[in-house]
Amino acid sequence: MRRHRNVKIVATLGPASDDYDTIRALFEAGADVFRLNMSHGGHEDIRARHNTIRDIERDTGRPICILADLQGPKLRCGVFKDDEAEILEGQPFRFDLDDAPGDATRVQLPHREIFEALKPGGHLLVNDGKLRLKVDSCGPDFADCTVITGGTISNRKGVNVPDVVLPLAALSAKDRKDLEFVCELGVDWLALSFVQRAADVAEARALAKGRAAILSKIEKPAAVEAFDEILAASDGIMVARGDLGVECPVQAVPPIQKRLIRKCRAAAKPVIVATQMLESMIDSPVPTRAEVSDVAQAIYEGTDAIMLSAESAAGSYPVEAVTTMNAVAEEVERDPTYREIIEASRSSKLSSTADGIVAAAREIAETTDIAAICVFSHSGSTALKVSRERPRVPIVALTPITETARRMVLSWGTYCVLTQPVERFKFAVVSGVRAAKAGGFAEPSDQVVVMAGIPFGKSGTTNILRVAPCDEQLIFGPEVD
């Protein structure tokens, strides 16, 4: 199942992709990672999808990565006497804690934490930002506002508060139950919603107890401002452009996306660009040209992965959406301009022996006749560093640990292989050569670069590199099995 592109594709599962045949078709069309959205479906639905993915993994013999996306706290207004009301630009409107049905002058906002954080001059956004209100005055149980952008407000619409850091934990009671459930299932990554500060990530990590890697969703202005600290605390990042585009000016989202991708790459941590990538394909078998350009731009920027949401979860053309995304990725990566952009944005900062060896491996691969870079890793950290370099040749990431193989799938350019444990470097070389040939990356007449750390099994010890022929008889002679 060799892919002919380096960027990875994340496909969300849902009612439109709920059976073995469809999920396998998504995988064969190009999906590398499957997202389980904890906002939709009960635990038994999630369990069934998880088990189906693992069945496909067994049947295809390829590691498959599973990402569980936690819902996060949902801020919603109350209900209205007539289920909805019309509020007009310039009129006053009040949010309060009174649970009486609302009308065109007021409605309940059952989140005391919002009133505690609000300040005059701030804004409240309703229904994905379609309605905008400015706070004139506020107290511990009310906010008197002026309608800036009016329209219809209806029962339990979502409320965004872009101007302040809310005194809310990123994990609700539901999230804590979901986190424990999916960690016991054996998912590989946890996507954490409503991240505002690094402490939110630390809380999730403490609950996960090493059973899954932590991926922080950047969807609030506060997270953008605290991004360096959040990145340091996280294993990966998702640029969640849905809520980010609601709470930030829409014109600010593309520059934010570009900056965040570059910072993630410099830190050798995978980053996903998500939301509305091929949204028209929910109902259409072909995307718009603007959507294709959006997907292509994220790839040119060097993102590790691009994500489908409703397109694959609830749309009429889930397989076609993955096929389209795969085709766009292959075309972009064939463009000589792509390599120019990727190499121009490479970070030159080296801080460890492993960094130096990884950079040397990439240079050797690009200046000599090398078919692939083979990385033997227990924790996956060396493979992440090689991925950060965005080499021109394939990365064959080998590990004896199933969980590591699955997590590494998310990273740019990694072809992950589960292998037997080794105690001597020469057997790591043999494993790398065999994996490169089996994956279709090398022929017996080729050479590969092999990297590992001695002693084996100790994280962060990458300290050896070898250029090896792919003819095993030339490596060690006829005694090699």
Catalytic residues: 35, 76, 217, 275
Element at 405 (helix H, strand E)? helix 402-408
C-beta of residue 275 within 8 angstroms of C-beta of residue 250: no
For 36, how many CA atoms within 13 A lie in the half-sphere containing its CB?
A: 29
Element at 418 (helix H, strand E)? strand 414-418
Q: Smallest Cα–Cα separation from 309: which of 6, 3, 34?
A: 34
Q: Which residue has the tokens 């996960």?
A: 208
Rounded-to-integer distance, Cα 230 and Cα 283, Å: 36
Number of residues assigned to the chain: 481
Write the secondary structure of 91-120 as one string of H (helix), E (strand) and C (coil).
CEEEEECCCCCECCCEEECCCHHHHHHCCC
* Structure-token pair, residue 166: 């809310």
CA 44 to chain centre: 24
Angle, CA of 210, 216 and 221, to the nearest 5°: 155
Q: Residues 6 or more apart from 51 whose CB is under 8 A from it?
A: none
What is the DSSP code string of 283-335?
Answer: T-SS--HHHHHHHHHHHHTT-SEEEESHHHHT-S-HHHHHHHHHHHHHHHHHS
C-beta of residue 405 within 8 angstroms of C-beta of residue 418: yes
C-beta of residue 140 within 8 angstroms of C-beta of residue 115: yes
The answer for 35, left when phi > 0, alpha when psi is -120 to 50, beta otherwise, is beta
Cis check: omega of the bond before 455, within 30 degrees of 0: yes
